[in-house]
Structure 1
Amino acid sequence: MSGTDVFARYKQQEKKLETLTETMVLVQKMVSEGMEAEVTLYKKGDKSRVETIIKKSANPMMGKAGMKNIVIDDGTSSWIFNPMTGKMKEPNDPDEAEERTPEKVAYLTEETVATMKCHKIKASYPDGEYEILWIGADNDVLVKQEYFDGEGRETTTNSDFRTVEGVIFPWKMVTESDGMVQQMTVTSLKINTDVPDSLFDPSQVEGYADASPEHQKAAQQVDKMMEVMNLVTEIQELHQRGEHKKAEILEKKMQQMMQSR
């Protein structure tokens, strides 16, 4: 079996998961760097709502125990409700919704991860980034992922897979990035259950004041700064590979962004 075949089967499994979970309520316990929280995901079609209730926090900057944050994606915009900063609306980035297609997928070897026999493959992308994927040999699910963006590595390991109404789902997910470790453990999963439309209506959320203009402006500036930094990295990598024409196009885009600040 080739790397391309393994990658295609993995993507088919992801699409199957998306189809089978048209509506879903997922409750998880999150533990990360001295913080514990309960995270609930409500999903209905292309809409989602994530509620995070902090149970324990060693860092006040990350929030206090009992604090509840809500993020609603209504399909076109994201609404962020935070007791510390208030309510903010952000348009969805169409680029984030686009599925990336690797220019090359190589089969590396077979390995066992979390007691599962896996096909290990490497997917390389046009911008120089790449990821190592461990795909279950018997079920085509993602068991482990190492993502390299040129600056660092992020590793996610899924384990304790269980089947709920025909859906194979990992009960435990551990992510490591920049020396930080986050563990997510499923406590409840309901598939194809009733999810009220009102959950995705921002006007139904009460108890959060509008974010101050200063907070909204600061959030927009941070988003734009991160986008510029990503462009700078991508431009440098293109020049290093001799793809100067592509780099020039991105340089013009970056200049336009800087002028609109």
Structure 2
Amino acid sequence: MQTTTEGYDFGSNWRSFIDHHLTDERRQEALRSLPAFLRESSLEGKTFVDVGCGSGLFSWAAYKLGAKRIVSFDVNPNSVACCKQLRFDEGEPANWEVLQASVLDDEAMRALGEFDVVYSWGVLHHTGEMWHAIENTAGLIRPGGLMWIAIYNRADALGLHSDGRVGSSRFWEREKAFYNRLPKMGQLAMDYTAAMGMVTAYLLSGRNPIREIQQHKQNRGMSWLVDIRDWLGGWPYEYASVEEIFNFVHGRFGYALENVISTNSLRNNEFLFRRPAA
């Protein structure tokens, strides 16, 4: 996960995911979800860049789906190590490169070149300079190529959301800043308090907590507890409405919106933009 030098250690959370939660079932869900949203049956012959690669799971999926070149990068050394481990497990293929770099580094981003598929899920809002990060990510798309980004939704209203979270985006901005000032034991206490709160919310809404936790892997192969930690600690934290993201990307670059999954909660809105062919 791409972060600035200060803030939550996403890489350590991804290490926990790789070591304890990355099952074959979660790998298969990544292989299913990547081409599904892209509306592509495979990535054969395409180039793919994973901006803020985190665990490296979706770089791995791009490799398995036949991408001819994969570039994965993250600013967090623990995330880079996770991705390198998945690459090592595949025999360190020459067409898959893993780098430590920041999406906010204009020169480094220009040096990467352009790609058929640019992927950055739940990353750019954690950089501390979200609009700058979106601009640099959009610059990586070749003519005719695709960009899949996921950005936290702007939720201005207070209330209970469908996934058990409560409050507005502004409330959680303050919570995340507070969380990152706590010692490790304080953070762990918040993690498990939040987990119990989610279980209680499931019960109050008539849902089976065990089923909800087990089914969470259908969300791109992710882990319920790892995602709770990521949500509580994910700082820096920014957010935007669907309209704000569309107006920025389409207005500045002229990219067409080809697919979108939107929410009225605190979750991510997902966007698939295509750069016009030259």
**TM-score in terms of structure 1 length:** 0.28
The structure carrying a bigger strand percent of its residues is 1
Q: Which has the larger radius of gyration?
A: 1
Which of the pair has the greater relative contact order for Cα pairs under 8 Å at 6+ separation? 2
**TM-score in terms of structure 2 length:** 0.27
The structure carrying a bigger helix percent of its residues is 2
